[in-house]
Amino acid sequence: MWAGQDYHSLRNLCLKTGELFLDPMFPEDISDPGVEWKRPPEFCSNPKFIESGASTTDICQGDLGDCWLLSSISSLTLHPSLFSRVVPDNQSFSDGYCGIFHFLLWQFGEWIDVVIDDRLPTKNGHLMYTKSNSREELWSALLEKAYAKLCGNYSALQGGTIPEALEDFTGGIAETVSLWRQTPEEVWDMVIQSESRKSLMACYIQVSDPRDIGHVNEDGLVLGHAYSVIGGQEVTHSSGEVALIRLRNPWGFTEYNGDWSDKSMEWKSVSDEEQKALNLQREDGEFWMLLDDVCGLFSWIVICSAELDTPHYNATHLRGRWESGVNAGGGRRLKSFFTNPQFRLRVGVDSEEGVEPGTAEERWAVLVELMQTDRRRDKLHIACNLYRVPKDQVSHPRLDRGFFTRSRPVCDTGDPENSRGVTMRACVAPGDYVIVPSTYDPNQEGNFYIRVYCERQAEDRTD
């Protein structure tokens, strides 16, 4: 429920009064000349919420710079179970239509039911922002509006980040991986494994000069732009099998023009049956690229694991606040670092007996994310560190300055980042650890949320 708005109660009230829902919590926030806020029946003769199922081509970017959001929505359509959670069934413009819709979005450990009315900004009778390739289909435009409400307004969608959107649609943890630091074989394994695990993926080309954002390079790729990663496939070619990655430009047009692009000569040596199975289309925003070219031309891939809240993981959720003069000690380089909040984490240890099971070689995968929860625009630079606690200090309620001066973290999130969330992944032995969230400078205040997932690793044996 978003700020006391209950979808079913509001919808029942509209049905009773015969009035269309008007959301007082999301007024018309665009005052550009020529902009008209209209409901779909006012600019479309036969509006539909979803037409013939949801697909990646239902999302085409409009005049708003939110490719980071739309690439994530495109990825969401590839996983029906995840999609149906975000986009509830039984919504339409026919049966019981009263101008109200709702979507479920994740925020800091909770799924929030975001209610909206269906007034959308239009110009000359056409949607200004996200639209489907079918004029009659409206779910993507309405989901974009729900996300804009969650963020405050449509303008807040200009220049967000891919990890934020992927997490808000799945409740998972998004990790950003440099493609230039991985071998093509490692990237292929990541994509195939992520695809099988229902992980959502996107990638982009980083630019050093902000003025280059949006420019199309000689390969037909848009600089500083987010692309959905749909999956990977090995294709039988005249010279053998090649590994291809399928991507989508959320614009719905402007595609890669290199080897294995839609119109390239390489496809002539691939059978018609295989081309059909690979859904090879012309200028729909989707295209294939050779794995090596993806690794060479793109900078980063973002992978969001969506199946973390399962019996396979031990999950821990923590909340806290940095307060000036109390526990806002600043970064690891400072003497006051030890005053930051300290959270103990026991990994692979019986909580009552304190016995470490298994052998010394046993390892646990630990995935940690620190998020700042009350700073959407004026974000702090944040970081998180994980330390092993010596056995002789396990009973101490807090670790002192001397410990942090002498000790190095087992794992950390790197240099403090000006982002909503930072992550770290480690493979650790059973024992006691301490998680220390921090800001870059001391005495910076803010609320934070930490989630930790631990999974016992299978033993690697050779018979």
Are the C-beta atoms of 230 and 78 separated by less than 8 Å? yes
Are the C-beta atoms of 236 and 273 separated by less than 8 Å? no
Candidates 346, 416, 425; CA nearest to 382 is 416
Are the C-beta atoms of 338 and 328 separated by less than 8 Å? no
Are the C-beta atoms of 316 and 369 separated by less than 8 Å? no
Given the residues 60, 67, 203, 454, the one annotated as active site: 67
**Are β-strands 343-347 and 431-439 bridged in parallel, bridged antiparallel, or unpaired?**
antiparallel
Determine whether 418 is an active site residue.
no
Report which DSSP code applies to 89.
Answer: S
Candidates 122, 170, 144; CA nearest to 69 is 144
Q: What is the DSSP string of 149-160?
A: HHHSSGGGGTT-
Give the DSSP H/E element, type plus range, for residue 210.
none
Given the residues 14, 79, 225, 454, the one annotated as active site: 225
Determine whether 14 is an active site residue.
no
Sheet holding 446-456, edge to edge: 314-322, 446-456, 364-372, 421-428
Are the C-beta atoms of 250 and 61 separated by less than 8 Å? yes
Determine whether 443 is an active site residue.
no
* Residue 372: both structure tokens together: 């700042």
Given the residues 249, 295, 340, 454, the one annotated as active site: 249
So which residues are the catalytic ones? 67, 225, 249
